[in-house]
Amino acid sequence: MSIEARQLALEALYEADQRDLAESPLELPGRAARLVAGVLDNLASLDREIEAVAEHWQVHRMPVVDRAILRLGLYELRFEPGTPKGVVVSEAVRLAKLYGSERSGSFVNGVLAKLADENHR
């Protein structure tokens, strides 16, 4: 998948989170639209899994960008089996470094690496 689809999906998820919307306010091309719809349709279960491994963090207290990236990455890990886990984690970390704080990359890496581990489930 192209990074552009992930970036567009991230922007839409960020916007939806900021506006407390159940759907994306942005019109998106194919892959990005599917990712955003999938995340929003599975939000409660994604958040439960993230909280289960994010030590000392509740999803609603995470920075919005980190939260959106984690949701997107976990959605890909669980529902997009054609994408290698390492690619999903790597791209999520890249987005976190690009859009998040200086600690976002390591935080996203730690959480998604745990979630990618099949023994976690």
What number does CATH give the domain 3-120? 1.10.940.10
Contacts of residue 29, defined as CB under 8 A and 6 or more positions apart, other chains included, come to 5, 8
Whole-number pLDDT of residue 91: 95
CA pair distance 20, 117, nearest whole angstrom: 31
Q: Max CA-CA distance within the chain?
A: 37
User: Residue ranges of the domains in the chain?
Assistant: 3-120
Of 53, 62, 57, 38, the C-alpha closest to 116 is 53
Residues 10-61: tens digit of each pLDDT: 999 999 998 887 777 678 888 899 999 999 999 999 999 999 999 889 999 9
Q: What is the pLDDT of residues 79-121, one digit of tens each?
A: 998 989 999 999 999 999 999 999 999 999 999 999 998 645 5
- Look up the pTM and report it: 0.91
